[in-house]
Amino acid sequence: MLSVEEARQQMLETIPVLGTEKRDILDCSDYVLAEQLIASENIPPFDNSAMDGFAVRSEDVKNASNNKPAALSVVETIAAGNAPQKNVTVGQAARIMTGAMMPAGADAVVMQEVTELKGDKVTILDSVEKDENVRFTGESVMQGDSVMSAGKVLRPPEVSMLASLNCAEVLVHRKPTVAIVSTGDELTPLGEPLTPGKIRDSNRYGLYAQVQNAGGFPIDMGIAPDDEVETERIFLESVAKADALITSGGVSVGEHDVVKNVLMKLGEMNFWRVAMKPGKPQVYGKIDGKPIFGLPGNPVSSLVVFELFVRPALLKMAGHSDLLRPTFKAVLEADVTNKDGRVNFMRAILTEQDGQYTAKTTGPQGSGILHSLVLANGLITIPSGASLRAGETVDAQFLH
């Protein structure tokens, strides 16, 4: 059986990065840039004031102080958005607002707080150095600079930068559309009464939320019965509509577990079963080049396998290169053993205290006990065969 790392690497190697599209920058947040961005303009586009105050020749106020104020005559007021009309010459100043263009002749700005204005005369009570309180043309970005490279994730600062550079549209990788199917004759849609032997279909909803959370666009394909013909039909419809398919249930060794057979009939199966708990039975393969993730039916297994396998795959499809959640060390609050031959991902509450995380498991850890995940904010990794004492550290990761 493959280890988690082996299976994940094997899977990720076969995951395609989706093609590109132009998007309006009002709708590009969290997309991955697919082009290099060269600045077509300087930012800022002109020398301007960083303060409300007076644009001066630093020479004229170099000895100014409370005791020895310098008196200047004010030639004009320059508001942000307006171009100066006058030059500043010896003994002169211009009233200037933050962001307003520096007038020719001035080489510094004295902030308003150290000045006294009376009529068209200003008294300067402090000296300034040349260039002080001036923001220079291109000091943030110079025309021709490479500002961002392909692969950059567009967070709010990047979106703001695109706007600063007059880019209304940007080339990004598409985010995946993902079909989601629950399998199982026992599953009852919401709103219908539960008859004997039936349960609610919860996985489809959890997976739907996980796909959205991973930046994908879920497509609800409903419930497939434990029947090969119908499952095949839904699989074909799914790959026609979506970039990937996630199924839950029907991947174990039961007589009615039809997902593997249908996958092998329509496409190829890459692996089945991974040495992990929860989530041993899981299948990965492709139909028409599109990734198919057959997740286990148990609610915890389905959510955890999504987290460890499908989430990184969807991120790769969307062009990301940082695919895995960061792991860190956490100190166990109680003894934990794992007699199983598989690594155990236990649901835990991770709490930070003085720069150190502690981990407390969330009660019964059966793979059907969804509540253990509802209470958790993270997973801790208990290696196969480990018998760990309170106070020892384990690898941990958040689920968000």
Nearer to Mg ion, 218 or 250 (CB): 250
DSSP state of 2: B
> Using the rule CB under 6 A, which residue among 41, 145, 186, 395 binds ligand AMP?
186
Our finding on whether 231 is near ligand AMP (CB under 6 A) is: no
Provide the minimum distance between the beta carbon of 305 and Mg ion in the complex, in angstroms, as a whole number. Answer: 15
Long-range contacts of 261-268 (CB under 8 A, 24+ apart): 261/228, 262/228, 262/231, 262/232, 262/235, 263/235, 263/287, 263/292, 263/294, 265/228, 265/232, 266/232, 266/235, 266/236, 267/292
Say whether residue 184 binds ligand AMP (CB under 6 A).
yes
Specify the residue, 55 or 221, whose C-beta has the smaller distance to ligand AMP: 221
Site string for ligand AMP, 292-331 (x = CB under 6 A): ----xxxx--------------------------------
Residue of the chain from 184, 215, 267, 319 that contacts Mg ion (CB under 5 A)? 184
Among the listed ranges 111-119, 180-188, 360-368, 388-396, the one in contact with Mg ion (CB under 5 A) is 180-188
Q: Which residues, numbered 282-321, are part of the site for Mg ion (CB under 5 A)?
A: 297
C-alpha distances in angstroms, 295 versus 61, 246, 348, 397? Answer: 74, 7, 22, 21
CB of 256 or CB of 325, closer to ligand AMP: 256
What's the token pair of residue 154? 């567009």
Closest approach of Cβ 8 to ligand AMP, in Å? 21
CA of 15: how far to CAs of 9, 45, 175, 318, in Å? 10, 43, 13, 10
| CA nearest to 177, candidates 124, 235, 238, 232 | 238
**Using CA of residue 154, residue 155, residue 156, residue 157, what is the dihedral sign?**
negative
CB of 290 within 8 A of CB of 246?
no
Question: Of the candidates 218, 249, 296, 299, which one interacts with Mg ion according to CB under 5 A?
Answer: 249
Return the amino acid letter for 87.
Answer: N
Query: Is 215 or 299 the residue whose CB approaches ligand AMP more closely?
Result: 299
Residue the block writes with tokens 């840039």: 33
Min. distance of Cβ 248 from ligand AMP in angstroms? 5
12 Rama class: left (phi>0) / alpha (psi -120 to 50) / beta? alpha
H helix runs in 252-380, sequence order: 259-266, 299-305, 311-317, 371-374
Is 250 a residue that touches Mg ion (CB under 5 A)? yes
User: Which helix H or strand E contains 158, and what residues bound it?
Assistant: helix 156-164
H-assigned helices in 165-295: 203-213, 228-241, 259-266
Nearer to Mg ion, 176 or 297 (CB): 297
Within 341-400, which residues bind Mg ion (CB under 5 A)? Answer: none
Binding residue (CB under 6 A) for ligand AMP from 47, 158, 201, 243: 201
Q: Which does 60 bind (CB under 5 to 8 A by kind): ligand AMP, Mg ion, none?
A: none
Could you tell me the smallest distance in angstroms from the CB atom of residue 281 to ligand AMP?
A: 7
Residues 242-261 interacting with ligand AMP (rule: CB under 6 A): 248-252, 254
Q: Is 202 in the site for ligand AMP (CB under 6 A)?
A: yes
Task: Tell me the closest approach of the beta carbon of residue 309 to ligand AMP, in angstroms.
Answer: 16
Tell me if residue 260 falls in helix, strand or coil.
helix
Q: Which amino acid is at 337?
A: T
The residues binding Mg ion (CB under 5 A) are 184, 249-250, 297
The residues binding ligand AMP (CB under 6 A) are 182, 184, 186-187, 199, 201-204, 248-252, 254, 296-299
